[in-house]
Chain A
């Protein structure tokens, strides 16, 4: 299924999954706008409502339309909940959950016009929780609630779904390893052991599910949370 010149906005485009998303959507025929946290034509601090609105406005100004929002950006820091600096805790939540909300609000009129779709990138940890990740897990669980509410509210014109991937081989895993005092290899080994498929994901196989959800092939999905996680979690 091809995007056929339809316009997709992918946030967190410089990250491990983000790069794979940009490539996979491009291969499927989408015109992909990749937004990053740094400077550049599509740079934005998505924890700020005005910057999220401005990002969407720039996409419309530059590309004329918006058919797909993939909210993939994420901040992750880890600390025990009683030690996590409050400002940092909120920065994670405001970026991951707040940023996705601001983007969705700004994008909704355009997505309605285009009969488009939203895919929020949540996380397995948003379903299972994780020690020392209360900010990240809260933000990702919040995204699941946002997905379900928006799916109902924007139906039938706009489909809204989420992905809750398991552990992916991306630089973000380094944050986790550092927090646990392990090498990257040891960290990977630990997750591989806890996953029925005995491995962690490549970004490409996660991106394939986003392309599926976004395309015509996913046309009867809304309000759903798809979980490519190697079998690590079998509950929703």
Chain B
């Protein structure tokens, strides 16, 4: 686990849910953590305080804002060893109602967010000869969904993006994807908390954010793993 210890990790969308749990887990593993948020300053600052890290505002859909944030993090906390692209949102909209704006926003936040973060952190990682990038996708990217084609398209694109980067940035920088199943976060629809759904999950429950955070920490530090898609999903997707 050569990257733990004297290193900085940035987690986008870390004011709640999986991002928050990841910030906490990385801090527990010894990283100084930059807690990115778009709007929820209060929650982000609370997370940053609890992990002895620092909160950084930036809408990941805004390339310039992300680049500026990464500059500040490297100046204030130090060289970024691990970058976790986690910021995202979920909405259920049927195809007839996905207008250009909804489509664009979904792609800009998920795929654009990963693109902007990667572009910002890679030059310095490359010059240091080491780095690890983790993109948070979704199990829905593996199986589709009848209610959120724009979300699934964006999350699926992340997998192609991540695998390509894994090839392009090897051998110095590893790039991997975590595709979580249903997890107890503010994004999860109530339908997926109901017994009618959880009884269909092989493990008979939804996941907890710390379990996904463990997966992110593992893949971020698994030294022979690159271009991999790991899916802690309770057995929802076994393919």
The chain A residues found within 8 Å of chain B, CB to CB, are 148, 151-152, 155-156, 159, 165-166, 196-199, 201-202, 205-206, 208-209, 212, 216-224, 226-231, 234, 236
Contacts and interface: CB of A to CB of B under 8 A. Distances in A.
B1 to A, nearest CB: 8
A209 B228 CA distance: 13
- Helix, strand, loop or mixed for chain B's interface? loop
Contact of A201 (B171, B224, B233): B224
B181 A220 contact: yes
Contact of B235 (A166, A217, A222): A222
Given A156-B204, A222-B234, A228-B225, A196 B166 contact: yes
A197 B237 CA distance: 28
Contacts of A201: 224
A197 B168 CA distance: 10
Interface string B181-206: 10000000000000000000011110
Contacts of B149: none
Which of A165, A197, A198, A206 is packed against the most chain B CB atoms within 10 Å? A197
Best-buried of B174, B214, B229 by chain A (most CB within 10 Å):
B214
Interface of chain A, main secondary structure: loop
A199 B223 CA distance: 11
A199 B231 CA distance: 25
Interface string B1-39: 100000000000000000000000000000000000000
Given A166-B224, A196-B226, A156 B218 contact: no
Interface string B80-110: 0000000000000000000000000000000
A231 B167 contact: yes
B220 to A, nearest CB: 12
The 4 tightest CB contacts between A and B, nearest first, are A223-B238, A196-B170, A155-B202, A217-B214
Given A152-B238, A196-B167, A223-B202, A218 B232 contact: yes
